[in-house]
Amino acid sequence: MAATSTTATVTPLLIHLLRGATDHASVAATHAKLLKVGTASAVSSCNHIIAAYCRCGVTARAHDLFDGMPERDVISWTALMSGYSSTGRPRLAVSLLRDMSHSGVPPNAFTFSTAVSACARLADAGLGRKVHARAEVEGYASDAVVATALIDMYGKAGDVETARAVFIGMAAPARNAVSWGSMLSVYAQNALGREAIQLFAEFRTKSNFMAPNHFMLSSVVNACAGVGRLGVGKSVHGTVLRFGHGCNGVIVVGLVDMYSKCGFYEYSRKVFDRIEHPSVICYTSIIVAAAKYGLGRCALTFFNEMIDRDVLPNSVTLLGVMHACSHSGLVDTGLHLLHSMQSKYDIHPCASHYTCAVDMLGRAGRLEEAFELANEAQVEGRDALMLWSSLLSACRTHRRLDLATRAAHRVSEFNQDVAGALVVMSNAYTSAGQTDNAAAVWSNMRRRGIQKDPGCSWIEIKDIPYVFYAGLVSPAGARAGEVMMLLDELEGKMREKGYKGGLGSTRVFDAHEEDGEDGKGEMVGVHSELLALGFGLLVTPKGMTIRVMKNLRMCCDCHDAFKLISDIMEREFVVRDLNRFHHFKMGSCSCNDYW
C-alpha cells in the first residue's frame, strides 16, 4: 500500500527531472529510478525517456527502448524520428515514416513536419516530394507548421518555385511570421535578394502589420548584402532597431556583413565597434570585410585582438586572414599562417587554405614556389581544379607561358572548367530523367556562386536597382542617349591622359562578359560597370560616392578607366566585384593595382 502511494508521487517528479535533463548520465540515472519504481514501461513514460535520450543525442539508447516497447504510439515514433533527424541521420528518420505505417500507427502533423524537416536537412527534393504527397493524402499538408516545413525543405533543395507555390497556397490567415520568414530565407539562401526584399515589403503592407521578428530581419539583411542594396539595407537596419533587435547576435553579424558587402566599410566598423563581446563569426566577418577592402594590416590587428581576448578562431577565420594577406601582398605572413595554424590553433589546413596560399604566391609572381606548394598540397577533385585554375590564371597574368602550359595540363586532367562540368552533369541528369538530381546540381551551383550568368553590373538610385548588361544602356531609360554621350566624352578625355584601353571596342580578354545585343545605335560591348557608372554620374549629385556592384571580376581596362574618371570627374567610386572592393579616388584605387 505504501509502495503504491510512493509510486504515484514519485513518478511525476521523475518525469519532471527527465524533461530538464540535458546529459546522458542524468537521463540514465532517472531512467534507472523509474525502472526501480516500476513505472518505466507505461507508453507515456517510455515516450518521455525516448525523448530525453534523443535530446542529449543518445539515439541508440532511445532506439533500444523503442524496440522493447510492447506497443508504440504516434509520439513514440515521432520522438525517435526527431532524434535521428537532429543527430545527423535524417535519412533514417524519413525511413521511420514508412515503418510506422506498416505497423499500423497513423502519422499526425507532428510526424509530417518532422519528416519534412529531415528531408530539408538532406536537401533532397525527390524524397521531400514523396513525403509531401503523403501529407497531402492524409490531410496534413495544409497544417501551418507542415506547410512551413515544406517551404523550407523545397528552398534548401533549391526548388524555389515549389516553395513559393506552397507559400502562395497557404490561406492568408494560416500565414504567420514563421511562414513569411521561411519564404524570405528561401529567397535569401538561393541568391534571390531582390525577391526577398520585395517579399519583405509585401509582408510589411499585407500581413496586417504583423511585427517582423529577428529571423525575418536577419534574412532580409542577408538579402541586402547579397545584392549590395545599401539603401534598403540602411532602412532595414532602422527597422531592426525600432523593433528592438539591435542586440541580436545573428542580426548584428548580418549587419556587419551587409555594410561591408555594400561597400560601406566604415559603417561595418561602426556596427562592429559597438559589439561588446564579438563572437568568432563576428570577428571573421570584420576580418573578411577588411580583407576585401585591401586592409590587410587592419585584418591582422582584428585577428590578434580576437586571439588576445581568447576567442578561438575557426577554419573560416584563418581563411579570411589569409585572404587579407593575399590581397595586401603580405605573402610571408600569409604563408606563416598556413604553416602554423595546425600547431597554434589546432586547425588543419584544408583545400581552401592551400588554394588561397597558391593564389597568394601566384599573385605576387612567386610562381615556382606556388607550383611547389600546389604539388605538395593534398588536394583532390574539384578543389584541385580550383587550385590549378587559379595558378593558371596567375601564370597568364605574369606572362609565364612555360608554367602556364604545365598548369593548363593539370587543369585539362579535369576535362572541363568548374561551371562547365557542372552544367554538363546537370544536363546528363535531365536527359536520364533524373530531374531531381539535375535540380540539386543547380542548387549546389547557386549555393557556391558558380553560375553561368552573363556579366552584369548594378547601381542603386533612390532605393531602386538599375541592372546593366554589356552593351545595353536601355536600363537608363530616357537618359540612355546622355549616358552614351557622357561615356564618349570621357573616353576622349581619358585618351588625352594616355588611356590605351577601349570602351566600345572589342578586347582580347573580353570573355568575362557576354556581348550585349548590337544595333539600336549603341556602342557594342561597353562593359556593364562603365554603363552603370555613366548612369550614376548623370543622376547623382556632385560629390556623392557612387557604388557599383558587379557579378564578375573587373577587367584591367575598366579598372584603369575608373581610376581616370575618378580624377576627371573629381568623384569617388566604390566597385564591388566577385572577390573584393575597389575604392577609386583622385585617379588611384585602394587596391594599389594589386588584386
Q: x-or-dash pattern for DNA, window 238-277, by CB under 7 A?
A: ----------xxxx-xx--x--------------------
Stretch that binds DNA, among 312-320, 414-422, 437-445, 550-558 (CB under 7 A): 312-320
19 binds DNA (CB under 7 A): yes
Q: What is the DSSP letter of 477?
A: G
Q: Which of 393, 397, 579, 590 binds DNA (CB under 7 A)?
A: 579
* Closest CB 455 distance from DNA, rounded Å: 17
* Closest CB 184 distance from DNA, rounded Å: 8
- For 566, residues 6+ apart whose C-beta sits below 8 A from its C-beta are 572, 573, 584, 585, 586, 587
Cβ nearer to DNA, comparing 251 with 526: 251
| Residues between 289 and 308 that touch DNA (CB under 7 A) | 291-292
DSSP-based three-state secondary structure for 433: coil
DSSP-based three-state secondary structure for 550: strand
* CB atoms closer than 10 angstroms to residue 230: 21
Q: Which of 162, 182, 190, 426 binds DNA (CB under 7 A)?
A: 182
* Closest CB 16 distance from DNA, rounded Å: 8
For residues 207 and 181, is the Cβ–Cβ distance under 8 A?
no
* Closest CB 332 distance from DNA, rounded Å: 20
Stretch that binds DNA, among 215-223, 483-491, 517-525, 537-545 (CB under 7 A): 215-223
425's enclosing H/E stretch is helix 418-431
* Closest CB 573 distance from DNA, rounded Å: 21
Cα-based angle 98, 99, 101 (whole degrees, multiple of 5): 70
462's enclosing H/E stretch is none
552 binds DNA (CB under 7 A): no
For residues 503 and 530, is the Cβ–Cβ distance under 8 A?
yes
Closest CA to 327 of 531, 558, 589, 542: 589
| Residues between 378 and 407 that touch DNA (CB under 7 A) | none
Stretch that binds DNA, among 94-102, 183-191, 262-270, 469-477 (CB under 7 A): 183-191
The grid coordinates of residue 262 equal 555594400
122 binds DNA (CB under 7 A): no
Stretch that binds DNA, among 103-111, 228-236, 330-338, 539-547 (CB under 7 A): 103-111
Stretch that binds DNA, among 125-133, 180-188, 476-484, 492-500 (CB under 7 A): 180-188
Return the CA Rg of the chain: 28
The grid coordinates of residue 173 equal 490567415
Cβ nearer to DNA, comparing 218 with 528: 218
Any idea which residue has 553590373 for its cell?
457
DSSP-based three-state secondary structure for 592: coil
Find how far residue 295's CA is from the centre of its chain: 23
443 binds DNA (CB under 7 A): no
3-state secondary structure 166-204: HHHHCCHHHCCHHHHHHHHHHHHHCCCHHHHHHHHHHHH
111 binds DNA (CB under 7 A): yes
Q: Which of 285, 426, 437, 457 binds DNA (CB under 7 A)?
A: 285
Closest CA to 112 of 76, 139, 72, 84: 139
149 binds DNA (CB under 7 A): yes
CA–CA separation, 92 vs 82, rounded Å? Answer: 10
Cβ nearer to DNA, comparing 124 with 143: 143
421 binds DNA (CB under 7 A): no
233 binds DNA (CB under 7 A): no
| Residues between 484 and 513 that touch DNA (CB under 7 A) | none
Q: Which of 108, 142, 397, 474 binds DNA (CB under 7 A)?
A: 108
